[in-house]
Chains A and B, each alone.
Chain A
Amino acid sequence: MNCQEVLDLMQKYVDQEHTNSEYAEMSEHLHRCPSCTAIFERLKRLSDELEQLPKVVPAYSIVDTILPKLERMNLLYQPTWKERFMERFPYKTLGSLAAGIILLLVILNSDLPGSMNSADSEKSALHMESMNRDTAGNNLAPAQEDGSDNKAKVEFSESVTESPTTPAPTAEMESAGETTDAEATDSSAADPVGEAKLFKATSPPATKKPTPKPAAASTPEPQATEAGGYGGATVDEEPAVQEENNNAELAPSQSPSAVLTTDAEQFPSGDGAYIAYVRQNETSQEVVIVNQQFEPVFTSFAKEVEQILNIVWSEESKVLWFDTFDGQTTRHYSVDLVKLQESEHVR
């Protein structure tokens, strides 16, 4: 190996790109070649100094300074609605969500004994008690194996909140315990089996004071009124559903929540805080956004168009996107749920 070849190996060595055999060859040469050794020392020193160059950082966040510009550009670089939609709701989620909605509609339109109604809360409470007795005996997977109404509701709550199925029995036990004995809830979450036993022990008093607490909807465990009728519905879902049901029966044509019993397709936001749907008027359409209590939060300007389509929520559920199509032109709109403002976007 001549000096020129060794020079090449030296470069590789300082760049940590050498192999073991190359290192051995180089070392062997350096042992008997003082001039190459001198060059090697200089090269190594220079390379070490270069490694030590200050790792400079910007004095301020460059991204922050360009954010306003990027936000303006963002309007021009919107992804297609399909991309946004499929990213938010993969097929799996869509399937269970659709199933949940259909089942919910079935429940709301039927007169099953489990349906909650303020007029016969006593009956419901009794029903709840009996349901809970059933589930207490089979606390590992009770909700899904009870009545069809129970099953339907559980699936709906899963699809919306993606909560695991196992908390359902615990929630039921908790709520039953709360109705009858407030202290019982403290230990419930940690020990569902123990709670089931506790419930059995305390269930007789439930029949003695069957009326659910009116404030149950706002308590930390509102399933107290929920448990019997629907199984393991989520905290957020329960008061809304109850209200909806009442409204639907009392004044179905005037209540905004009546939409739930129509065929209008619903678009729940990712965080579950809102649901958007299209309201068909005589000559126009508009996008209506309701909150969890099914109170209208925002209604878009009426559009005299053939179709409102591509309704998609932003990831943070703060912006709703939709398009309109009048037979020729597609227009793009967004609704800012924070500012409650509607804007049209040119793509």
Chain B
Amino acid sequence: MIEQEQIKQAQAGDSEALVTLLRAIETHVYRTAYYILGNEQDALDASQEALIRVYTKINTYEEKALFKTWVQRIVTNICIDKFRRTKTTVSIDEHNMVFTTEHNVEDDIISSYVAKDIQEAIKKLPDHHRTVVVLRYLQDFSYNEIAESLDLPLNTVKSYLFRARQQLYSLLQDYQKGGVRG
């Protein structure tokens, strides 16, 4: 947990406090970048960029927002920009209610998905859906914290998360049916 006092010291120009702060958030920043960008090198690049931006913009942080959501907003923005420059996402029909259709009992025999499949499936999600999933599952953010980080209405966060899970489920079914284990 990052102390508010430490943030104030950093904002007052204490560069040692600021570096300590960066060390405290480094792993969280990297983890988000890794799951949004899907590979280590891009994640390291984006994390560097995000940490430098935190360093230079620390004075623009206001206490009314949580520090962790402020940081995640910075890193997700950098990642989405970066991702858009380099890759295109496969569009999936967002309204396909996959949880409720076509799946019978034998789908459920397989007890767990392979983590690698899940990571592959996450990569295929549209930017915002993927980002919401990452904040929810890798940063343990609440709906409110996700909404604050991404500057989205609460209901949009809920619906992105709902749809993202539907898409993931659908993709994972495909992997298992096709035996695709990348």
* Chain A contact residues, CB within 8 Å of chain B: 7-8, 11, 15, 17, 35, 38-39, 41-43, 45-47, 49-59, 61-63, 65-67, 69-70, 73-74, 77-80, 83-84, 87, 315-316
Contact = CB atoms under 8 A, between A and B. Distances in A.
B14 A42 contact: no
Contacts of A316: 16
Contact of A42 (B99, B112, B115, B118): B99
A11 B132 CA distance: 14
Nearest to B158: A11
A53 B35 contact: yes
Interface size class of chain B, counting residues whose CB lies under 8 Å from the partner chain: 35 or more
Contact of B13 (A42, A54, A56, A79): A79
B9 interface: yes
Contacts of A8: 162
B100 interface: yes
A46 B169 contact: yes
Contacts of A53: 35, 115, 118-119, 137-138
Contacts of A79: 12-13
Nearest to B105: A38
Nearest to B113: A49
Contact of A70 (B26, B52, B103, B169): B52
A73 B13 contact: no
A87 B8 CA distance: 10
B68 interface: no
Interface stretch (B40-48, B78-86, B87-95, B174-182): B40-48
A115 B51 CA distance: 57
A177 B77 CA distance: 69
Given A46-B165, A51-B137, A54-B115, A74 B15 contact: yes
Residue with the greatest number of chain A CB neighbours at <10 A, chosen from B105, B111, B168: B168
Given A46-B165, A61-B26, A84-B13, 17 more contacts: A8-B162, A15-B143, A38-B105, A42-B99, A49-B118, A50-B165, A50-B168, A54-B115, A58-B43, A59-B40, A62-B47, A62-B48, A63-B23, A66-B51, A73-B56, A87-B9, A316-B16
Given A50-B133, A63-B26, A67-B19, A17 B142 contact: yes
A50 B99 contact: no
Contacts of B99: 7, 39, 42-43
Interface string B127-145: 0000001001110001100
